[in-house]
């Protein structure tokens, strides 16, 4: 897992999630061209989200069944490309919806990619690699806003999906050529057993607490990004679509700044990092609430919010992969169910609150979701630890100490006097 391979996996994650979120900035021309009424254009995005939920249940368990996840990643990318081609060439709305649904189902390649990265990584580097790879998710969500708007303005909305199809096929080929095959010491079980184990994970404390944190975390995240464009386009700012898209750069800066969270998790500090990041998430809304008066404070708040979200995301997934080394795909898939539901809640709630109480009301909503996540974390910390929690929190620290000790011993051997 050198730097180039980590980058490749991050790009895979970014392109996969972009296939779901890229419709957000181009809903108006897309709906008009396909004959979808204005009040129903929201279903263009929702179709991909519902497909994604189905993929989490039906496809993610395959990651614990196939011997080499690398091949599964390539297949999922290829089918995602087919969905993008259907959408780009659609002459009727139902064809576009079918393409978006297919792309959404196979966008769960993100979870298989993260599971592959965790599986092929040495334990002492697992958090670092997960941090880099999952940064592609946030980059894909936020970067899709910027790129889609630019492409649609020059070549039309269909060009966005055509480009995604070509990139997905190219990544499928690169995955097979560049990435090493996965060596799994235990032969995977059957698909049915994997699906059953996915359901059983929801009853485990470490999965439930991390899932609830993710639910409220991404509800807060969705509250910002699903409602931000409306007040920016209104008075007093009256920004254009391309100008609004540039705020995604601030989000990217914050998310990429949290790449260090993987190293903190490797050192056994995933739990305290989560608490600190959630506190920062609440504080970020104090700056974001100043949007009607200051764009600079808004930018600061966006950077802090996306830093906090990515830090918690990396820490959560590190704890889950350490707790379930034999069911990594299922553990991450179950976790992402909470993520998807939280994102949907934030997106749906923010527009209603914004219409009734303005941007201050939306900011209080986002801060409230963040406070709920912090309350879940604090409650979990006060309760007695179970074996899964202890194992997941101590695994990274133990492996890091072993690696340091091994390095020191190697240095002592290298520096010891040699016989003439």
Burial class of 215 by CB neighbour count within 10 A (0 to 12, 13 to 18, 19+) = buried
The C-alpha atoms of residue 304 and residue 288 are separated, in whole angstroms, by 10
The model scores a pTM over 0.75: no
Q: From the CB of residue 8, how many other CB atoms can be counted at a distance below 10 Å? A: 17
Cis peptide, bond prior to residue 236, ω within 30 of zero: yes
Burial class of 376 by CB neighbour count within 10 A (0 to 12, 13 to 18, 19+) = buried
First CA to last CA across the chain, in angstroms?
39
The C-alpha atoms of residue 174 and residue 327 are separated, in whole angstroms, by 26
Residue 238, by phi and psi: left (phi above 0), alpha (psi -120 to 50) or beta?
Answer: left
Q: Which two tokens stand for residue 36?
A: 């979808």
Out of 3.30.465.10, 3.40.50.10860, 1.20.1250.20, 3.90.1640.30, the CATH code matching 189-403 is 1.20.1250.20
The stretches in the chain having pLDDT less than 70 are 1, 24, 27, 38-42, 64, 182-203, 241-242, 258-263, 265-268, 326-327, 329, 385-420
pLDDT at 39: 56
Residue ranges matching CATH 1.20.1250.20 in the chain: 1-188, 189-403
Output the CATH code of domain 1-188. Answer: 1.20.1250.20
The C-alpha atoms of residue 160 and residue 27 are separated, in whole angstroms, by 12
pLDDT at 143: 78
Supply φ then ψ for residue 384, to 5 degrees.
-60, 145
């Amino acid at each position: 897992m050198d730097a180039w391979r980590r980058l490749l996996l991050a790009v895979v994650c970014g392109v996969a999630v972009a296939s779901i979120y890229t419709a957000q900035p181009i809903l108006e021309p897309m709906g008009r061209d396909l004959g979808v009424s204005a009040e129903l254009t929201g279903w263009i995005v929702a179709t991909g989200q519902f497909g994604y939920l189905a993929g989490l249940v039906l496809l993610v368990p395959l990651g614990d069944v196939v011997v080499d996840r690398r091949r599964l990643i390539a297949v999922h990318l290829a089918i995602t490309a087919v969905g993008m081609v259907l959408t780009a060439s659609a002459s009727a709305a139902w064809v576009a919806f079918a393409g978006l649904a297919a792309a959404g189902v196979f966008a769960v390649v993100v979870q298989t990619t993260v599971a592959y990265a965790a599986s092929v990584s040495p334990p002492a580097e697992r958090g670092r690699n997960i941090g880099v790879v999952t940064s592609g998710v946030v980059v894909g969500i936020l970067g899709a806003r910027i790129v889609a708007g630019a492409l649609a303005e020059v070549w039309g909305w269909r060009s966005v999906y055509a480009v995604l199809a070509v990139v997905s096929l190219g990544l499928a080929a690169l995955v097979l050529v560049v990435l090493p095959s996965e060596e799994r010491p235990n032969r995977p079980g059957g698909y049915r057993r994997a699906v059953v184990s996915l359901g059983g994970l929801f009853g485990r404390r470490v999965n439930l607490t991390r899932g609830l944190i993710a639910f409220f975390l991404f509800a807060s995240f969705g509250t910002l990004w699903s409602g931000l464009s409306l007040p920016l386009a209104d008075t007093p700012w009256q920004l254009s679509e391309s100008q609004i898209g540039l705020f995604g750069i601030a989000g990217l800066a914050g998310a990429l700044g949290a790449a260090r969270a993987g190293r903190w998790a490797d050192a056994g500090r995933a739990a305290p990092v989560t608490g600190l990041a959630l506190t920062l998430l609440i504080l970020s809304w104090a700056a974001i609430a100043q949007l009607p008066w200051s764009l600079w404070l808004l930018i600061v708040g966006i950077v802090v919010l996306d830093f906090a979200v990515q830090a918690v995301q990396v820490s959560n997934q590190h704890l889950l992969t350490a707790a379930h080394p034999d069911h990594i795909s299922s553990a991450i898939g179950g976790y992402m169910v909470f993520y998807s539901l939280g994102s949907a809640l934030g997106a749906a709630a923010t527009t209603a609150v914004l219409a009734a109480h303005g941007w201050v009301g939306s900011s209080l909503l986002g801060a409230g979701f963040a406070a709920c996540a912090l309350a879940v974390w604090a409650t979990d910390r006060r309760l007695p630890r179970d074996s899964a929690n202890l194992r997941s929190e101590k695994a990274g620290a133990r492996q890091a100490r072993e690696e340091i000790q091994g390095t020191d011993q190697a240095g002592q051997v290298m520096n010891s006097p040699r016989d003439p």
